[in-house]
A = this chain, B = another copy of it.
Amino acid sequence: MRFPRVALGLPGWIDDLVADVDHKYPTDVDRMRLVVELSRRNVQNATGGPFGAAIFDLSTNRLVAPGVNLVPTTNLSIAHAEMVAIMVAQKVVGSFDLGGPGLPPYELVASTEPCAMCFGAVPWSGVRRLVCGARDEDARAIGFDEGPKMPDWVPALEERGISVVRDVCREEAATVLREYAERDGIIYNARRGEQSEMGDGR
Contact = CB atoms under 8 A, between A and B. Distances in A.
Nearest to A202: B124
Nearest to A149: B120
Interface in A14-61: 14-15, 18-19, 21
A133 interface: no
Interface of A: 1-10, 12, 14-15, 18-19, 21, 65-66, 71-72, 74-79, 83-84, 86-88, 90-92, 94-97, 99-101, 115-121, 123-126, 145, 147-150, 153, 156-157, 159-161, 188, 190-194, 197, 199-202
A114 to B, nearest CB: 9
B75 A91 contact: yes
Task: Find the residue from A14, A65, A96, A125 having the highest chain B CB count within 10 A.
Answer: A96
Contacts of A120: 115-121, 147-149
B3 A14 contact: yes
B126 A199 contact: yes
B74 A96 contact: yes
Contacts of A21: 2
Contact of A76 (B90, B157, B161): B90
A95 to B, nearest CB: 6
Contacts of A75: 90-91, 94-96
Contacts of A149: 120
Contact of A4 (B88, B97, B119, B199): B88
A12 to B, nearest CB: 8
A96 B200 contact: yes
